[in-house]
Chains A and B, each alone.
Chain A
Amino acid sequence: MQSAPDTPATIALIGNPNAGKTTLFNALTGANQKVANYSGVTVELKSGETYTPHGKKLRVLDLPGCYALRATSPDEKVAVAALHGELPGEVKPDLIVCVADASNLERHLQLVLQVIELGIPTVLALNMVDMAEKSGLRLDPAKLSEELGVPVVPMQANAGKGVIELKQALRFPFPTPPQAKWIPGTDDGESARREFIRKLCELAARRPDAHQLTTSDRLDRWLLHPVIGWAVFLTAMFAVFWAIFSFAQIPMGWIESAQGLVAGWIESAMPDGDLRSLLIDGVLGGVGGVLIFLPQILLLFFFIGLLESSGYMARAAYLMDGVMARAGLSGKAFLPLFSSYACAIPGVMATRTIDSAKERLVTIFVAPWMSCSARLPVYFLLVPLLLHEDEGTWKQALVLFAIYTLGTLTAFITARLLRRKLGPDTGPHHFLLELPPYRAPQWAYIFRHVHERGRAFVVKAGTIILGLSILLWALGTYPKTEGDDEAEALAHSAMGRIGAVIEPVVKPLGFDGRVGTAILTSFAAREVFVSSMAVLFRVEETDDEEQTRETLRERLAAAQWPDGRPLFSPLAMISLLVFYIYALQCLPTSAVVAREAGSWKWALGQFAFMCGFAYVASLVVYQTGTLLGF
């Protein structure tokens, strides 16, 4: 079924992974889909709109990358079904724009020829011609067009070059479906294509006689070295964590000062009362307690964007392939697992690039153990409590690095055990990794991505966290007592009563009822823990402004058990960190897991297993530590 005459014509963008489809899609439609110098970014269909030079509207589909039209992985199946018009609710495309990396033309032409064989009007977007020319390739787009029988548009999509020329090629009427020259007279399509590509490249994409080492090749000698490569990888990862802790200090100070100013202003403008308490302890304490971590989250996404955009992430995947194999997974699981460090939801969705269903299920199962950014506020709250800033930010970075390593190692061990239990695959699956040339980072995309993540975090703080902070404040305030004793008032409140019920369950882990209540509230979203703690651990206001501006961290450091022991002993904090490393406290992740795994049983099993594991791990840490005298 093709587009009806009154509906806009549909154009499908297809190409090998990392050919630049998403960059071209963004350039054509003005959208802002995530772009990375790494394969597997597009794992589902995305659609947008563009216009021909004559103002005619066109619908553009961005298909997942694939190396051939014999689909094996779920994302490739989506791409092939879309080209055949077999996706429910989707029409067959009226035109296909095949995006090929000009610097790797021999390989990319395999897919181009298969697309042309479909008999649908096709345009070849010859992307990254700048890189091809730099490597010494002599391209002849006119000859390519003549031999393939389709229009060929040389372009550099990331710089916006060639986009206007491509739009010119999308004018009505579309070019007639080409005739495949290489099929007639042969039974073996694969060999015929290979032979045709060899001849075509001799004519229209000639490489220099002597192989020239590019800058990327020279860099890869070091960055992919079995020893030096790993040293660089570990140093880069550690540097990222150190930079997050160090660089964020200044803007965090600004946010803290702003909060203090607002609190001071409210205090001077309003007499003591419930509304003032709600505004300062509930709203400002809850929302401000989460917002203060915004600089660190922005920095994390900035560094992830930098690594992806520069092309280093693909090298990291290459290095990690051996490690993945030990966990019973392939290098294809690297991107989903790495994405999960930002958020498990795109990570779980990115598992669609994995061919093997069993490997995919295992990757989905362990992905939430890659410490996501929602855990960061909890870590950023507890790590400085464990190790004060004066002891050196590098020590804090080391603890954060250890937290990430613990989650990752446990995920790998579990993946190996689970993979063994599920048994071998019925068919062979291969891991093919694109190593793109190193490029200058696309700053515009990185900053847009950072901005989007930051906005999502602020919106969440301003909606869900604001609401929960208000409700928590109410639970911690009502019903009220007659006296002025804060501790008695909290014990009498609804929150105090809930805490008393929960305390026997969490006490073996080293937590009191308030911490237990904060954990309970964070099952909707982990970062709520910080705002809950801010509301639950409010201190008595004094005339001393400095004291009233004490940070939540200082309040927690001063918290005690009824017998005077510090509540947040180093052992209790490690126990709490361990709990947050392992517990699956994210409803949207469970919903996406249920959808991707095709069963709620899988999602519920994962939830029960991870929360049970978190409880037992935390219990073992605290009880063992106590027995050893810590």
Chain B
Amino acid sequence: MDWQTHTAVAIVVLTLTVFLVRLARPRRKPGCGHNCGCGKNPPLSD
């Protein structure tokens, strides 16, 4: 493998790692995080 292949494979592995880490990271709670009420289910009228 030449240097171009090494670098390309490294970039691909890094990208894949970033995607996997982002997928595995615990998700933020819904809403904007500022007590704005937007993360709560609004009551339905009927």
Contacts and interface: CB of A to CB of B under 8 A. Distances in A.
Interface class of chain A by DSSP:
helix
Interface class of chain B by DSSP:
loop
A101 interface: no
Nearest to A279: B8
B4 A273 contact: yes
B30 interface: yes
A274 B4 contact: yes
Contact of A90 (B15, B35, B43, B46): B35
B11 A47 contact: no
A477 to B, nearest CB: 8
B39 to A, nearest CB: 7
Nearest to A75: B42
Contacts of A356: 45-46
Nearest to A594: B30
A146 B28 CA distance: 50
A273 B38 contact: no
Given A274-B9, A427-B45, A471-B19, 19 more contacts: A45-B38, A47-B36, A74-B44, A270-B4, A271-B4, A273-B4, A274-B4, A274-B7, A275-B8, A278-B11, A356-B46, A357-B44, A358-B46, A467-B19, A470-B11, A595-B39, A596-B41, A598-B41, A598-B44
A271 B5 CA distance: 12
A349 B41 CA distance: 11
Interface string A467-509: 1001101100000000000000000000000000000000000
Chain A interface residue bracket vs B: 35 or more
A66 B9 CA distance: 57
A352 B40 contact: no
A89 B29 CA distance: 15
A426 B46 contact: yes
Contacts of A276: 4
A234 to B, nearest CB: 34
Contacts of A191: none
Interface in A323-377: 349, 352, 355-358, 360
A321 interface: no
Nearest to B43: A77
A593 interface: no
Contacts of B18: 467
A47 B36 CA distance: 7
A598 B43 CA distance: 9
Nearest to A595: B30
